[in-house]
Amino acid sequence: MKKAVFKQIDGNSINYWMLLALLGSFALAAVGAHFYMEHGGHYVTGMNNQIVWGLPHVFAVFLIVAASGALNVASISSVFNKTAYKPLAPLSTLVAIALLSGGLMVLVLDLGRPDRLIVAMTIYNFKSIFAWNMIFYNGFFLIVGVYAWTMLQRNLNQYSRIAGFTAFIWRLALTTGTGSIFGFLVARQAYDAAIMGPMFVVMSFSFGLAIFLLIVMATYKWTDRPLGDATFNRLKNLLGVFVAGVLYFVVAQHLTNLYATEHHGVEAFILRDGGIYTQLFWYGQIIMGGLIPLALIYHPTTGKSRTAISIASILIVLGGLIQMYVIIIGGQAYPLELFPGKEVSSSFFDGVVNSYSPTLAEALLGIGGFAVTLFMVAFAVKIMKFLPESLADEAVDPHHTK
């Protein structure tokens, strides 16, 4: 394999600046939404004392999970020493850092008291998985940042393997920790399951790679750089495996729950009687976000089409957001089991399915997380050498046979 030549993108076109302006305005809209929510209080949102985490959390958790997954390509190249993935490894670290930044921005700006972030950074309750996650997230920036540095600066290349290995372990811990936010909730029927940790790891593989693949395809198309079938096919086949992996975990999770009588209520709610949550689960998460992308990826015709794979990747991202929605909002909508076997009612909405209508402000805050991520990537590839000039087959892997 030839040594890949990394080069900044020109980024002089009107379209490039338009893209930055568009992303920038969505990011500003998110900041505006934040001030709107913080000014008078969270009463302007659809969140309440029954559905305490809303749309911002759906976006934030999705982006944080995807951040870990975006590191897939770098991990495969450094940890598993697959040279074909090496040219895209620096971009992989960049997308990972950008996704985590976007996700954390949404999470922090939704806090009741974001002005007290310094408290969260300085006072730790080590029994809290949230506190661990703060260490995981901050450490991720540091470790992946150093990892990117070892790859970008030639005389540090020798350290990239060990940095990559550290980042690999760290990202697994990070996603397990994020899944455990839900896994450790003993109170709620929909959560409290050890499978949440590993399931989030596989979800991260899928969502992160889908976003990464979209970024690669868009960047190479818009900058007229060659993207060969060797790289493309590798990435899309890997994506297919991850999508199937997520489906497997979802099946395992629900089958386990269906076996235990105490979980029949919540399973019936998500799978059959939950109205919007049931529809989102089957049509959004399973069919749109899982089965259709799988078909597009592995069908002999569509599997070769860049357009079809772009659509598949977008569907995986949308399906992933819907999966988060079903987990986070659906899990809270189902009432707490205070008195098993009894009907409960009160002035505080005990025993009823809680309703949630997200507001525009929450949506803008969440979408702003995506905008910040993409802005960071678009800007960084202009000022730093993250992208190989060519990902043509002969540049990446001359022995690749089609």
Partner 1 sequence: MSNSEQTNNYRRKFLAQSAAVAGLAIAPGIILNQVAHTKADADKVTDATRWGMLIDTNKCNKGCTDCVTACKTENAWGMGETHSSKEQQAQWIRKVTITDKQTGHVQSLPLMCQHCETAPCVDVCPTGASMKRADGIVQVDKHICIGCRYCMMACPYKARSFVHEKIELQKPTAPRGIGTVESCNMCAHRVDKGENPACVEACSKAEHGAMIFGDLKDANSAISIELKKHGGEQIRADLGLNTGVRYQGL
| From candidates 116, 264, 299, 304, binder to partner 1 by CB under 8 A | 116
Burial code of 244-258, b = ≥16 C-beta within 10 A, e = fewer?
A: bbbbebbeebeeebe
The site string for partner 1 over 238-267 (x = CB under 8 A, - otherwise) reads ------------------------------
Number of residues that bind partner 1 (CB under 8 A): 53
Spacing of C-alpha 25 from chain mean position? 22
- Judged by CB, which is closer to partner 1: 51, or 76? 51
Closest CA to 64 of 191, 160, 181: 181
CB atoms under 10 Å from CB of 114, counted, come to: 14
Which is closer to partner 1, CB of 103 or CB of 319? 103
Number of Cα atoms under 13 Å in the Cβ half of residue 205: 24
Q: Among 19, 31, 38, 302, which residue sits at the site for partner 1 (rule: CB under 8 A)? A: 38
Q: Using alpha carbons, select from 323, 300, 326, 295 the residue that is nearest to residue 311.
A: 295
Selected binder of partner 1 within 14, 345, 401, 402 (CB under 8 A): 345
Tokens (6 digits) for 101: 């930044």
CB neighbours of residue 138 within 10 Å: 13
Closest approach, Cβ 119 to partner 1, in A, equals 5
**Residues between 159 and 218 that touch partner 1 (CB under 8 A):** 181, 184-188
Q: How far is the CB of 116 from partner 1 (least distance, A)?
A: 5
In the bound complex, what is the minimum distance in angstroms from residue 50's beta carbon to partner 1? 5
Nearer to partner 1, 214 or 328 (CB): 328
CB 92 within 8 A of CB 42: no
Which of 40/300 has CB closer to partner 1?
40
3-state secondary structure of 280: helix
C-alpha span between 151 and 166 (Å, rounded): 14
Q: Where do contacts with partner 1 occur on this chain (CB under 8 A)?
A: 38, 40-44, 47-53, 111-114, 116-117, 119-120, 123-125, 127-131, 134, 181, 184-188, 332, 336-339, 341-350, 354-355
